């Protein structure tokens, strides 16, 4: 039983379950003959699901243990033996769609490091704060001195263990001759600690240990939030179905068959491709006939008929007949790999986007540092007292330390990402949100993006009811996309079909109630030369069917809303020009380009400036990587999904304008947060420069400004858009 909505994976429905060989290939060896397979099961939803899955696996031979992770919607199955137990079949029987995946690494080591650093900083800052409160409320000099020493002892590990993250990042930025937000943070924290340590040694009244460490703590909260958002998106995207196979069945010269992993396939090998399987490497058909779905590779909607001698490219889907294929390349130089290279080139020419926070820091740091220097010089001239001048200059740095600035951006982006996540949109990182807010052009791919890549019968009204019923009954038995569309129009009566045969590339034939029927290409079925699908009864055509690609739900609204947001919608497609033009007219899009190669798409997107690319196919992947920002549906090819900044899980295309609105709102809030942080600095600076700042005042001012910034960011959560 499945109790919740499944993630829409249009491509997956055509694919059969991975073979047992593939399960073995994707599993990890745990030693001692124990292997672990990791599966992503998007349908897991409640306690009932956990119980059903775990108890079902308890009775399967060979399975040692199965553990469901509800948060990441994954199942880890540990098993023994040479052949894999029926893991995916078991899950399918329970009603769950499962996809194999290989975890890249156990969990993100960077995130674990950040959380540990945050825990240490939190512990130290709270204890120092506790001691500082008693110092502020007027402890005797002896107690105060002791408390300062304990604080120093607590601040040192926090600085070394937790502060390291900022120091290393600041150092690597400085080495490259640039500044980022971490430079003023590191200078402020280190000087505050140095001054406080000196004051403690000489028995001074003021120490800023609390300011230094709580600054690190607050900023680490921002970093962890930023990272959590990325991790969540990554695991959600990883969980989707893989559209490229892990291996292929090789036919050896002596006729023996072997399932080999993708890396072991060499040019010249003979491969077996069953219906429902994707092509692994480029090659030439050696024998057999079939229809090939090229939509993912080229964007064409109509399946292509292939026979011996035709070339196939990796990523295409074999629909109807069994083929043998002579490999012409290995995985490393197939069409797929070619796309990867184009993508890498595209990504490097996009250049390094500088994040808003870093750009702000490049203005902020010089101003603050020169003000501190001015304060030092001013006090030196006025008093001639070195110690006092330096103390006040450092106090200026501490009070202006960009605590609120450091939180201003990540907190808004974390809240925005959470809102998008709730609406089924994954964000790859915060920079993507910043870029999305700047978009003024939106380029849509056609097949699989504006349309679902699934044909629909459009002339149902003019077809004889009896003929439609027979055609639907025939169509039910085939995997061909047109047949799947036709089979939805059955009349509910059962037609007993006999002598069913599927002729790959042509159509299907069978007998019903003594009549002989053919359904397929007009010329083959008996309807004369015409570009249509025809049903013939005993050699006479009785119906002809016209199909059109289904529009993705929300496509029209999405285009309208995109225009309302002030962006120009365009279509870039690899499909034939007339089809693209017809769709563009239907949607009211003026700029529509058809028959584009991947390279042309990439160059076109590059020429658009701040463009958002929305696409799903292999042929879109380089353009997705090149565009200022990019978005892909969950049904996209793996490579496209990884290239895109955003992935939307629900079918509707209105996710595009929705994400744009959230991104723009987030940008506005980031701007407000910067304004608040600067306002705070302008208010606090005169006091600091005049030498009135005490550690108590610094702690209060810093916490207050951080709370204001966080509260402002949370406004994004409740807003109706």
Q: Which is nearer to another protein, 114 or 701 (CB)?
A: 114
Q: Which is nearer to another protein, 103 or 194 (CB)?
A: 103
> Which residue reads 């380029």 in tokens?
443
Give the three-class secondary structure for 311: strand
The yes or no reply on residue 69 touching another protein (CB under 8 A) is: yes
For another protein, what does the binding mask look like between residues 94 and 113, x meaning CB under 8 A? -------------x----x-
Spatial separation of the C-alpha atoms in residues 372 and 368, rounded to whole Å: 6
Please give the radius of gyration of the chain, using alpha carbons only, rounded to the nearest integer.
32
Only one of the segments 115-123, 265-273, 568-576, 598-606 lies at the binding site for another protein (rule: CB under 8 A); that segment is: 115-123
The yes or no reply on residue 116 touching another protein (CB under 8 A) is: yes
| Distance in Å, CB of 696 to another protein, minimum | 20
Task: Look at residues 157, 219, 180 and name the one whose alpha carbon lies nearest to residue 703.
Answer: 219
The yes or no reply on residue 68 touching another protein (CB under 8 A) is: yes
Only one of the segments 24-32, 68-76, 177-185, 683-691 lies at the binding site for another protein (rule: CB under 8 A); that segment is: 68-76
| Distance in Å, CB of 438 to another protein, minimum | 35
Spatial separation of the C-alpha atoms in residues 439 and 663, rounded to whole Å: 10
Query: Strands, DSSP E only, in 410-473?
Result: 425-427, 441-445, 451-457
- Alpha carbons within 13 angstroms on the beta-carbon side of residue 100 total 25
Q: Which is nearer to another protein, 228 or 307 (CB)?
A: 228
The yes or no reply on residue 3 touching another protein (CB under 8 A) is: no
The yes or no reply on residue 50 touching another protein (CB under 8 A) is: yes
The yes or no reply on residue 150 touching another protein (CB under 8 A) is: yes
Q: Exposed e or buried b for every residue in 341-352, given b needs 16+ CB within 10 A? A: ebbeebeeeeee
Only one of the segments 69-77, 211-219, 446-454, 687-695 lies at the binding site for another protein (rule: CB under 8 A); that segment is: 69-77
> What distances in angstroms separate CA 382 from CA 120, 378, 587, one per listed residue?
42, 6, 72
| Distance in Å, CB of 73 to another protein, minimum | 9
The token pair that represents 27 in the structure block: 């599993």
Q: Which is nearer to another protein, 47 or 461 (CB)?
A: 47
The yes or no reply on residue 71 touching another protein (CB under 8 A) is: yes
Give the three-class secondary structure for 64: strand
The yes or no reply on residue 714 touching another protein (CB under 8 A) is: no
| Distance in Å, CB of 325 to another protein, minimum | 42
Only one of the segments 139-147, 265-273, 346-354, 658-666 lies at the binding site for another protein (rule: CB under 8 A); that segment is: 139-147
Which residue is catalytic, options 21, 210, 445, 638? Answer: 445
What phi and psi, each to the nearest 5 degrees, are found at residue 274? Answer: -85, 160
Number of residues counted as binding another protein (CB under 8 A): 28
Q: Which is nearer to another protein, 36 or 69 (CB)?
A: 69
C-beta of residue 495 within 8 angstroms of C-beta of residue 476: no
The yes or no reply on residue 590 touching another protein (CB under 8 A) is: no
The yes or no reply on residue 705 touching another protein (CB under 8 A) is: no
C-beta of residue 225 within 8 angstroms of C-beta of residue 446: no
C-beta of residue 652 within 8 angstroms of C-beta of residue 554: yes
Strand partners, 266: none
The token pair that represents 456 in the structure block: 């629909």
The yes or no reply on residue 58 touching another protein (CB under 8 A) is: yes
| Distance in Å, CB of 210 to another protein, minimum | 15
Q: Which is nearer to another protein, 16 or 153 (CB)?
A: 153
C-beta of residue 521 within 8 angstroms of C-beta of residue 504: no
Which of 102, 143, 274, 349 is in the footprint of another protein by CB under 8 A? 143
Q: Which is nearer to another protein, 12 or 119 (CB)?
A: 119
Cβ contacts of residue 605 below 8 Å, gap of 6+?
443, 572, 611, 613, 623, 626, 627
Q: Which is nearer to another protein, 138 or 255 (CB)?
A: 138
The token pair that represents 509 in the structure block: 């034939």
Give the three-class secondary structure for 687: helix
| Distance in Å, CB of 119 to another protein, minimum | 5
Spatial separation of the C-alpha atoms in residues 308 and 283, rounded to whole Å: 11
DSSP letters for 330-351: -GGGSHHHHHHHHHHHHHHHH-
The yes or no reply on residue 146 touching another protein (CB under 8 A) is: yes
| Distance in Å, CB of 236 to another protein, minimum | 14
Task: Look at residues 134, 45, 455, 505 and name the one whose alpha carbon lies nearest to residue 306.
Answer: 505
| Distance in Å, CB of 406 to another protein, minimum | 23
The yes or no reply on residue 70 touching another protein (CB under 8 A) is: yes
Q: Which is nearer to another protein, 66 or 365 (CB)?
A: 66
Site for another protein in 465-484 (CB under 8 A): none
The yes or no reply on residue 164 touching another protein (CB under 8 A) is: no
Only one of the segments 9-17, 50-58, 166-174, 551-559 lies at the binding site for another protein (rule: CB under 8 A); that segment is: 50-58
Distance of alpha carbon 529 from the chain centroid: 46
Q: Which is nearer to another protein, 70 or 205 (CB)?
A: 70
Q: Which is nearer to another protein, 154 or 357 (CB)?
A: 154
| Distance in Å, CB of 26 to another protein, minimum | 21
Site for another protein in 118-137 (CB under 8 A): 119-120, 123, 126-127, 130-131
Task: Look at residues 700, 684, 704, 696 and name the one whose alpha carbon lies nearest to residue 205.
Answer: 696
Residue 384, burial from CB neighbour count under 10 angstroms (0-12, 13-18, 19+) = exposed
Cβ contacts of residue 404 below 8 Å, gap of 6+?
673, 676, 677, 680, 702, 705, 706, 708, 709
Q: Is 445 a catalytic residue?
A: yes
Only one of the segments 44-52, 187-195, 260-268, 551-559 lies at the binding site for another protein (rule: CB under 8 A); that segment is: 44-52
Only one of the segments 43-51, 162-170, 533-541, 545-553 lies at the binding site for another protein (rule: CB under 8 A); that segment is: 43-51
DSSP assigned state of 8: P
- Catalytic site residues? 445
Question: Using CB under 8 A as the criterion, which residues of the chain lie in contact with another protein when the complex forms?
Answer: 46-47, 50-51, 55, 58, 68-72, 107, 112, 115-116, 119-120, 123, 126-127, 130-131, 140, 142-143, 146, 150, 154
């Amino acid at each position: 039983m499945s109790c919740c909505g499944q993630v829409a994976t249009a491509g997956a429905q055509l694919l059969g379950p991975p073979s047992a060989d593939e399960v073995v290939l994707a599993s990890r060896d745990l030693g001692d003959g124990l292997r672990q397979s990791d599966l992503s099961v998007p349908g897991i939803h409640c306690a009932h699901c956990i119980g059903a899955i775990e108890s079902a696996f308890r009775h399967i031979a060979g399975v040692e243990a199965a553990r469901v992770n509800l948060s990441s919607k994954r199942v880890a199955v540990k098993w023994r033996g040479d052949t894999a137990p029926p893991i995916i079949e078991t899950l399918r029987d329970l009603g769950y769609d499962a996809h194999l995946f290989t975890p890249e690494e156990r969990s993100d080591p960077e995130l674990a490091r950040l959380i540990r650093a945050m825990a240490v900083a939190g512990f130290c800052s709270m204890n120092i704060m506790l001691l500082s409160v008693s110092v502020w409320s007027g402890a005797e000099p002896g107690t105060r001195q002791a408390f300062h020493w304990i604080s120093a002892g607590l601040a040192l590990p926090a600085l070394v263990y937790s502060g390291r993250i900022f120091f290393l990042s600041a150092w690597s930025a400085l080495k490259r001759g640039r500044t980022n937000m971490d430079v003023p943070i590191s200078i402020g924290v280190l000087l505050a600690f140095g001054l406080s340590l000196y004051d403690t040694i000489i028995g001074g009244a003021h120490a800023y240990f609390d300011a230094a460490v709580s600054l690190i703590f607050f900023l680490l909260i921002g970093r962890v939030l930023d990272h959590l958002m990325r991790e969540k998106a990554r695991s959600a995207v990883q969980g989707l179905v893989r559209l490229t196979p892990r291996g292929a069945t090789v036919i050896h010269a002596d006729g023996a068959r072997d399932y080999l992993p993708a890396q072991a396939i060499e040019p010249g090998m003979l491969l077996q491709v069953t219906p429902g399987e994707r092509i692994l490497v480029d090659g030439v058909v050696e024998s057999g006939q079939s229809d090939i779905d090229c939509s993912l590779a080229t964007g064409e909607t109509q399946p292509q008929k292939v026979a011996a001698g035709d070339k196939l490219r990796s990523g295409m889907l074999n629909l109807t007949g069994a083929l043998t294929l002579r490999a012409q390349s290995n995985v490393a130089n197939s069409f797929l790999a070619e796309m990867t290279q184009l993508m890498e080139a595209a990504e490097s020419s996009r250049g390094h986007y500088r994040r808003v926070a870093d750009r702000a820091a490049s203005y902020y740091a010089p101003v603050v540092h020169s003000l501190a220097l001015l304060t030092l010089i001013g006090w030196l001239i006025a008093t001639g007292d070195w110690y006092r001048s330096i103390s006040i200059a450092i106090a200026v740095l501490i009070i202006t330390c960009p605590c609120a600035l450091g939180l201003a951006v990540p907190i808004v982006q974390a809240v925005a990402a959470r809102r998008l996540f709730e609406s089924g949109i994954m964000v790859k990182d915060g920079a993507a949100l910043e870029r999305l807010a700047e978009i003024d052009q939106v380029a849509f791919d056609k097949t699989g993006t504006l349309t679902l890549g699934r044909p629909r019968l459009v002339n149902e009204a003019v077809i004889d009811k009896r003929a439609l019923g027979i055609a639907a009954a025939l169509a039910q038995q085939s995997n061909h996309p047109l047949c799947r569309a036709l089979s939805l129009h059955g009349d509910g009566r059962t037609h007993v079909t006999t002598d069913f045969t599927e002729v790959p590339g042509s159509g299907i034939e069978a007998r019903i109630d003594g009549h002989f029927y053919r359904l397929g290409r007009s010329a083959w079925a008996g309807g004369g030369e015409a570009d249509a699908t025809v049903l013939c009864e005993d050699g006479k055509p009785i119906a002809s069917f016209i199909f059109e690609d289904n529009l993705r739900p929300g496509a029209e609204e999405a285009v309208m809303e995109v225009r309302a947001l002030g962006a120009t919608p365009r279509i870039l497609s690899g499909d034939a020009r007339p089809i693209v033009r017809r769709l563009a007219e239907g949607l009211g899009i003026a700029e529509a380009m058809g028959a584009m190669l991947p390279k042309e798409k990439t160059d076109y997107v590059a020429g658009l400036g701040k463009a958002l690319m929305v696409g799903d196919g292999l042929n879109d992947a380089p353009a997705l990587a090149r565009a200022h920002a990019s978005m892909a549906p969950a049904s996209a090819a793996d490579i496209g999904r990884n290239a895109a900044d955003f992935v939307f899980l629900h079918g509707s295309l209105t996710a595009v304008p929705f994400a744009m609105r959230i991104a723009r709102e987030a940008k506005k809030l980031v701007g407000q947060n910067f304004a608040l942080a600067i306002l705070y600095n302008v208010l606090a600076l005169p006091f600091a420069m005049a030498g009135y700042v005490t550690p108590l005042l610094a702690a209060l001012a810093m916490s207050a400004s951080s709370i204001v910034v966080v509260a402002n960011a949370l406004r994004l959560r409740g807003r109706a858009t």
